[in-house]
Structure 1
Amino acid sequence: MSTPRGTRIALAVTVAVIALVTVVGMWVLRPTGEGRPDVRESSASGVTYLEGEVISVTPLDCAAFGTDPSTTTGAAPAGAECGRASVRITDGAEQGESVQVDIPPDAVREGVGAPLVLLKIPGQVAGSPYTYYDMQRGQPLLLLSIAFALVVVLVARWRGLRSLVGLAVAAAVVVGYLMPALLEGRSPVAVGLVSSAAIMIVVLYLAHGISARTTTALLGTFAGLAATAGIGALAVMQARLTGVSGDENAALQQAAQQIDLRNLLTCGIILAGLGILNDVTITQASAVYELHEAAPDLSPVQLYRQAMRIGRDHIASTVYTVVFAYAGAALPVLLVISLVDQPIGRILTSADISEEIVRTMAGGIGLVLAVPATTALAALVIRSGQGAGQGSGRHAA
């Protein structure tokens, strides 16, 4: 089916207006470099990070250390042993030198050859200037990323490659724009909305091409985003959530007091729903167009009803996806809270669990509402083609 010129113009104007509002919003909320907290004052001058490799380990009870190295990765389990390792530095001006470092149980388990990251604090009065910082994870993460990219490109081909480019653009927006803007105290909800809109405009058209079908999915995505933002903000307020429920959030409040953590929670809800919202709307738009191609005599109402049967199945499976995704991310919190002897109602209404419930429910509502919105919009676009007396030729995807 060929979309009438008037409909294409109406869709293009709508997207252009949204894009213009997004660009203006990004300009107004842009990070300027002012107001960002200076965390350098909290770090010792001249601190450097070095990479090293364990060449020998001497087991040692964690309690024997003056400063328990297990605290860098959490309390050591009962019976776990820390160690005193000889580490050969593998980068920097000190490459090839060997130093003594106390390491936690997880590094001890890796044994000889374990790649470590060391912290060197110059001018230390007592003890070695070298301390254990973390394990090196760059190589396995790089290999996993390469494998992911190869699988996507081999299976999805050019469309998969374009989706990877879109993913890179999304990462650039989050790291280069959203995070600096948030750290400068810009409105988290406003920054989250304009960033999400910019990401969706680029990603959808890049991955699926410029067409009425893609535009329909994009507008459905915007409807879902608006619903998610509104419901998320209302739920956070009504549930009396402050956003200060974990150690990281508390540390962020201390380091960057200009950030509104309650609104930051809503911003996180918006971002969390982006990917799956995109999946639902593009799939639903495609379902409407494909149904029309298979049965061009269906009226818009019949087309909507048929497509919603597919949409309901998609909603049912996607709800499980959303819930289990959040449950998996919050599993440690769930286990810790389950150890506390409290009524189930009190556990579920604790700050940590309440945040996950709000994320799940607000994101789920926006996701569900996006399906009928996208379906109705796609049916209206197809109706415009029928009304203009267009044939049922293949629609450009």
Structure 2
Amino acid sequence: MGLGHSHGHRAGGAPDLEVGRRSRVVVVVLLVLAAAVTVAGLVALWPGGDRPVLETAPEGSSYSEVTVTDVELLADSASGPVLLADDADGEQIMVQVAPEYLDVVEAGDRIRVLNLPVAEGVAAPYVFVDLVRGPPMALLAAVMGVLVLVVARLRGLGAIAGLVVSVGGVLWFTVPALVEGRPALPVALVTASALMFVLLYLAHGVSVRTSTALLGTLGGLVATAGLAAWATGATHLNFLGGEYAMDLRSLAPEADLRGILLCGIVLAGLGVLNDVTITQVSAVWELRAASPASTRRDLFRGGMRIGRDHIASTVYTVAFAYLGAALPLVILVAMSDRTLLDTLTSGEIAEEVVRTMVGSIGLVLAIPLTTAIAALLVPAAEPTASPASPEPSTPSAPGPVADPATP
């Protein structure tokens, strides 16, 4: 890894201070060891064989997209609510739809339907499956991508590339490995470590600063994974009440449902963990640039003052993120006659509570760890120059005396 030590400022205005040779060697050795362990884990845990496929369409049926032309017509059909739509050839077809979707679907909407084999007595061989959401989601993705590139420029491009790599890594390695029953804790650690190596250097460039943040992230990641492994076992979380538990048990009998939950907890905290470590390293570097004479202890204390503010805001950010994702479930459980304690410790609510607390503890531990690493690796304090003492003046030789008779 080319961890340079040039003076001046890097792209984005961040100071790139000169780091000692010993510090750079320590960083490189630690990261090489971490990378070697990660690669070995990838090789040992890499899934093999064919991945099971969940068949969603009955034999002889097919999916297609159609345009709704009329929602009210035939709504009281004997076979259930029916709407009219135009298929790809412009021919009008009848589509059976669940009653709860009648208020959602409007004329002109694109919907996805399942074309069932024609059976006697069936008025509409087409069954509503879902709304087509591709175009608006593609527009959102395009707007996000453009804004990230305009505001963050090259770093934004690196972040987008890292996001693509992350999704690909989870789909090609993590998911098949869990389906085949590979141990979840090593899978989670290897996945997160590999992604962090790629994401941080893509988004922030190769430097001692980025490598320092990576060390802090890996330390926080290990703490989060260990805590998640203990918490899922101690609280007896097993994912059995999940929406897709039955499908997973039938389709992937070798998969460990508790392990899948554990892996999800580790990966869920990865983004926030990365955020706090990058921020803390940048804070320490900026403090050193602003105060070259400060001791490492002073830098750590200053970094922790910033870190405490970060903790205060990030903890409830994590909590609200999980609360928002599970809001429908929270509403259903809150409407029951159970006490608050029973509600918080029941089934899927307990999963979200444990997920929130584990993620929060992981990032709280990562902040002092990363700050300490940054304070140790940042360039040493510059010696303060003592004020120069004035040199004694020596009497100058008298110059030639002018002749008073000279006019």
> Which TM-score tier does this pair reach, normalised by the shorter chain?
0.7 to 0.9
Show the counterpart of 1:304: 300
Larger Rg, first or second structure (1 or 2): 2
CA distance in 2, matches of 1:126, 1:369: 65
Shift of 1:388: 10
Matched position secondary structure for 2:71? strand
Letter in 1 for 2:116: I
Shift of 1:102: 1.7
CA distance in 1, matches of 2:157, 2:145: 8
| Aligned counterpart for 1:121 among listed residues 104, 109, 116 | 116
Letter in 2 for 1:39: L
Q: How does 1:270-281 map to 2 (within 5 A)?
A: 270-281=266-277
* 1:192 is the counterpart of 2:206: no
Shift of 1:60: 5.9
Q: Show CA shifts across 1:20-54 (max 9, x none).
A: 111111121112124x43434x7522332100001
* 1:106 is the counterpart of 2:101: yes
* 1:132 is the counterpart of 2:128: yes
CA distance in 2, matches of 1:124, 1:232: 52
Show the counterpart of 1:248: 244
Verify the 8 A CA contact 2:63 2:113 in the aligned structure 1: yes
Show the counterpart of 2:63: 49
TM-score normalised to the size of structure 1? 0.87
Q: Show CA shifts across 1:368-392 (max 9, x none).
A: 000000000011112xx42899xxx
Verify the 8 A CA contact 1:107 1:135 in the aligned structure 2: no
Q: Show CA shifts across 1:235-276 (max 9, x none).
A: 111111111122222332232221111111110000100111
Verify the 8 A CA contact 1:122 1:129 in the aligned structure 2: yes
Show the counterpart of 2:164: 168
Shift of 1:5: 2.2
Letter in 2 for 1:19: A
Show the counterpart of 2:13: none
Verify the 8 A CA contact 1:54 1:88 in the aligned structure 2: yes
Verify the 8 A CA contact 1:107 1:114 in the aligned structure 2: no
Verify the 8 A CA contact 1:57 1:108 in the aligned structure 2: no
Q: Which structure ranks higher in relative contact order (CA pairs < 8 Å, sequence separation ≥ 6)?
A: 1
* 1:359 is the counterpart of 2:355: yes
CA distance in 1, matches of 2:336, 2:298: 53
Letter in 2 for 1:96: G
Q: Show CA shifts across 1:299-355 (max 9, x none).
A: 111110111000000010000100000110111111000111112211111011111
Q: Cα RMSD over matched residues? A: 1.9
Verify the 8 A CA contact 1:37 1:184 in the aligned structure 2: no
Shift of 1:9: 2.1
Show the counterpart of 2:18: 2
Unaligned stretches of 5+ residues in structure 2: 1-16, 384-407
Q: How does 1:319-334 map to 2 (within 5 A)?
A: 319-334=315-330
Show the counterpart of 1:292: 288
% identical aligned pairs: 44
Matched position secondary structure for 2:228? helix
Show the counterpart of 2:8: none
Please, which moves more after superposition, 188-197 or 226-235? 188-197
Q: Which 4+ stretches in 1 moved above 6 angstroms?
A: none
Q: How does 1:192-271 map to 2 (within 5 A)?
A: 192-271=188-267
Verify the 8 A CA contact 2:292 2:381 in the aligned structure 1: no
Show the counterpart of 1:85: 83
CA distance in 2, matches of 1:193, 1:380: 26
CA distance in 2, matches of 1:121, 1:261: 33
CA distance in 2, matches of 1:151, 1:250: 41
| Aligned counterpart for 1:375 among listed residues 371, 374, 377 | 371
Verify the 8 A CA contact 2:293 2:382 in the aligned structure 1: no
Unaligned stretches of 5+ residues in structure 1: 69-82, 390-397
Show the counterpart of 1:393: none
CA distance in 2, matches of 1:84, 1:354: 40
Distance 1:43 1:349, change over 3 A: same
Q: Show CA shifts across 1:4-31 (max 9, x none).
A: 2232122112111111111111121112
Verify the 8 A CA contact 2:57 2:114 in the aligned structure 1: no
Distance 1:193 1:46, change over 3 A: farther
Verify the 8 A CA contact 1:119 1:133 in the aligned structure 2: yes
Distance 1:158 1:264, change over 3 A: same
* 1:97 is the counterpart of 2:91: yes
Query: How many aligned residue pairs are there?
Result: 365
TM-score normalised to the size of structure 2? 0.85
CA distance in 1, matches of 2:382, 2:183: 45
Q: Show CA shifts across 1:279-316 (max 9, x none).
A: 10000000001001101111111110111000000010
